[in-house]
Structure 1
Amino acid sequence: MPLHPEIARILADLPAPPPGPLDPAAMRAGEEARVPPLEERLPLHDVRDTIAVTSAGEVPVRVYTPTGTDTSGLVIYFHGGAFFLGSLDTHDHIARQLAKATGCTVVSVGYRRAPEAQFPAGLDDCYGVVRWATDHGDELHWDGNTLAVAGDSSGGTFAAAVAALAHDDGFDRITHQVLYYPSLDLDFDTDRYASLRENAEGYGVETAGLPAFNSFYFDSGADPADPRVSPIKRGDLTGLPAALIVTAEYDPMRDEGELYGARLTEAGVPATVRRYAGANHGFVQNFSWIPEFAQVFDETAEFLRQGK
């Protein structure tokens, strides 16, 4: 189907990016300026900021408790933003919707970002918070069963990498991984995936811009050949948690997510790949107010209700 008309209309009205190199500080400020005030956000039983003291250091987190029930599953959420953008505030609405739809306590992670932090600081923060959350399960009202990692775009990269790191460490508590249009192969050779060519221009995220957007991460020491950076490079996917991989029809990174799902299935890992027709990269963050795209949260809830 064609690009959703509401997305097409908004993309058509977007101003051209300023000339010259990307300016992280200006781009972050622009994102933060669009965060709605607290009174306009989805209300939940409790939302609080705290500090997770982890093996990687102190990491700011935001804990979303959807209801007053005694216990629930846990979702550890990593925001997107090409490893240098995004924050607890810019992705607050995703965490709130995840908590409401799933009934799980959601812990959103304010990990360190490039270019200020060197690789693997952000990844270490994400993994450290997962371990911290299980150590503090009682205060988070964790039921001891469902423990999911979730992320959108580069946050999906972190979610996949954390699941693999945990497996390699013998930490088997993660039951699910939820990857929204993940960036799983940071080798941007356009011959690698058809979607890099088919969706190269006109859909918000453009293939030609991917190297520049990821350059801050690369300059921080992230090597695209490293499976911690490009999870699809991992040779052995056996034993990883069950996966829900959500892709978008008009996303340059669509095919790498779908290939990863196929490889997980081949490795014996339960994997569900769901392509959203008419959607573009970033639709969970930017367009989940469109009813057919809001279904992604209900689909996530259904996936988490399934067993390992």
Structure 2
Amino acid sequence: MPLNPIFNKLLETDFDSMYSLSIEQFREYYEKSWDDFKGDVIDVGTVINRTIKTAKRDTPIRIYNPKTKGIHPAFIWIHGGGFIFGSMEVYDSICRKITNKVNCTVVSIDYGLSPEHKFPDPGEECYSVIKWVYDNAAELNIQPDKIAVGGDSVGGTLTAAVTQMARERKEFSITYHVLINTMFDLLGITKPLSRVENAKGYRLETHAIEGWYVPKYLNDLSEAKNPLASPLLAESFKDLPDACIITCEYDPLRDEGEHYAKNLSEAGADVCLKRYDGIIHGFFNMQRTVEEARDALDLVCTKLNEALH
């Protein structure tokens, strides 16, 4: 279907000019760019900022507790931002809504950004946070056998990586995972058609993915073949958790998300796949302005409720 006209003004922005900014300038722009789109901040039970020692560094996390008493399931949130941008603040309103709608504890991770923190460090850091949640479940009033993980964009990439790590290392189990507009194949080795069809003009562009974001994340481009960098290249998709996977029509990452969903489903996972037509990458955090973003959040909460309760 045609592009939703709600994006017309946004897409008038000269995004290419942003790549001439310094990383710090671009990060500042990125944080502010969501202010008119992200949802309202709502009350939850408590919000606690902590810093925990992980495998790679001292990692800031934010713990959202529901208003109800007792022991709750947990959802670990990994933010998007091309490995280079983003923070807990950008997705604060979404984490609050999930806390209330799913009646679960949400833990948001401020993992180290690239190029200061390159592959595989962000994935190892996120894995360490999940293990810390699992090991400290009693203190956190969390059910250790009911832990889900999810993320938007590269937050989904890191989510898919940690589910594979958890499967191999067997230190804890992940009940469910949520993957939204996710990059599963960093350099498009599997030749996703959407990287050609949606290469330019829809905010996230193929030349920026493959020529700017990914090289700043990887130490060497050959690492793109590693399944912990490009989860679509895994040898096996067996014994991975059930999933909710969201794609959108005008996203260069669309086809690799749907390919990943197919591989998971064929390996035996229960996969809820939904494509939002007329929509661009990054829509999930446009809760204030885009109806489909609110629908996607409702879907995520519904699937988490089914999986965790």
Alpha-carbon offset, residue 184 of structure 1: 0.3
Does the alignment pair 1:86 with 2:78? no
Tell me which amino acid in the other structure corresponds to 1:25: E
Tell me which amino acid in the other structure corresponds to 1:202: G
Tell me the residue number matched to 1:41: 41
4+ residue runs over 6 A deviation:
none
Q: 1:43 to 1:228 in 2, by over 3 A?
A: same
Q: Which range is displaced more, 83-92 or 47-56?
A: 47-56
Match of 1:207 in 2: 206
Q: TM-score, normalised to structure 1's length?
A: 0.91
Over the aligned positions, Cα root-mean-square deviation in angstroms equals: 2.2
Which AA in structure 1 matches 2:209?
Answer: L
TM normalised by structure 2 equals: 0.91
Deviation at 1:201, TM superposition (A): 1.8
Contact 1:224 1:230 in 2 (8 A): yes
Paired residue for 1:17?
16
Distance 1:250 1:233 in 2: 23
Q: 1:195 to 1:110 in 2, by over 3 A?
A: same
* More displaced stretch, 247-256 vs 139-148: 139-148
Within 5 Å, which residues of 2 pair with 1:53-92? 53-92=53-92
In 1: Cα distance, 2:116 partner to 2:26 partner: 15
Q: 5+ unaligned residues in a row in structure 1: which ranges?
A: none
Deviations 1:90-118 (A, max 9, x none): 22223223223322111010111111123
Aligned: 1:122 with 2:122: yes
For residues 1-308 of structure 1, what are the structure 2 equivalents within 5 Å? 1-12=1-12, 14-18=13-17, 21=20, 23-34=22-33, 41-188=41-188, 192-211=191-210, 212-219=212-219, 223-287=223-287, 289-307=289-307
* Alpha carbons 1:7, 1:287 under 8 Å: kept: no
**Deviation (angstroms), 1:53:** 2.7
Distance verdict in 2 for CA 1:204–1:139, change over 3 Å: same
Verify the 8 A CA contact 1:53 1:132 in the aligned structure 2.
no
SS in 1 for 2:137: coil
In structure 1, distance between residues paired with 2:298 and 2:71: 20
Q: Identify unmatched segments of 5+ residues in structure 2.
A: none
User: How much does 1:35 deviate?
Assistant: 6.4
Residues of 1 paired with 2:18 and 2:52: CA distance?
Answer: 39
Q: Label 1:83 to 1:104 Cα distance change in 2 as closer, same or farther (>3 A).
A: same
Q: Give the secondary-structure state (helix, strand or coil) at the position aligned to 2:140.
A: coil
Q: Is the 8 A contact 1:119 1:222 kept in 2?
A: no
Q: 1:243 to 1:19 in 2, by over 3 A?
A: closer
- On the 8 A contact 1:53/1:59 being kept in 2, the answer is yes
**CA distance in 1 between partners of 2:271 and 2:293 (Å):** 20
Range with greater deviation from structure 2 (265-274 or 150-159): 265-274
The CA distance in 2 between the partners of 1:10 and 1:127, in whole Å, is: 35
The answer (yes or no) to whether the contact 1:119–1:221 under 8 Å persists in 2 is no
Distance 2:286 2:182 in 1: 15
> What is the SS of the residue equivalent to 1:306?
helix
Which whole-Å deviations, capped at 9, do the CAs of 1:153-205 have from their partners, x for residues lacking one?
A: 1110000000000010113421001001110001236x811111111122111
Instruction: Give the conservation status (yes or no) of the 8 Å contact 2:77–2:107.
Output: yes
CA distance, structure 2, for counterparts of residue 78 and residue 20 of structure 1: 24
Shift of 1:264: 0.6
Aligned residues: 304
Residue 240 of structure 1 aligns to a residue whose secondary structure is: coil
- 1:276 touches 1:293 (CA, 8 Å); kept in 2? no
CA change 1:220–1:27 in 2 (3 A) is: farther
Q: Which SS does the other structure have where 1:200 is aligned? A: coil
Q: Which amino acid aligns with 2:235?
A: G
Q: What do the CA deviations read for 1:128-171 (whole angstroms, capped 9, x no partner)?
A: 00000111212322134421110111110000000000010113
Superposed displacement of residue 278, structure 1: 1.8
Change beyond 3 A, Cα 1:171–1:241: farther
Shift in Å at residue 44 of structure 1?
1.9
* Structure-2 separation of matches of 1:96 and 1:77: 11
